Amino acid sequence: MHILHTMLRVGDLQRSIDFYTRLLGMTLLRTVDRPEQQYTLAYLGYGSNPEHAELELTFNYGVDKYELGNAYGHIAIAADDIRATCDGIKAAGGVVTREPGPVKGGSTMIAFVQDPDGYKIELIEHGL
């Protein structure tokens, strides 16, 4: 078994696609529009199934905001230089909620950014 995708509900599909492609470097892999069921899906990632897990963004017609709740944590993404990544995100108007630095009690460099719907994304520095 392996993870195929993670789904997030979003309030503005194009705004979210723009964030994940322009600011986080993902590729829009495919979209599925289901007008009869009143939703549209967009699949993004750094590669497609089955070799890579994908991010599924779900836009339900007529819903522009969701309550995130307190069970959601974050999505983690590896980056080779999180300082440069965060600088690029900020320059493009994105939100960095935790500046790059070592994880508490360790040496792994991490940062957190927030997508347009408020979902947290952890950037973990890896020598890719």
Q: Where in the sequence numbering do the catalytic residues fall?
A: 122
The per-residue DSSP string of 24-81 comes to T--EEEEEEEETTTTEEEEEEESS-TTTS-EEEEEEETT------TTT---EEEEES-
CA-wise closest residue to 109 among 74, 72, 84: 84
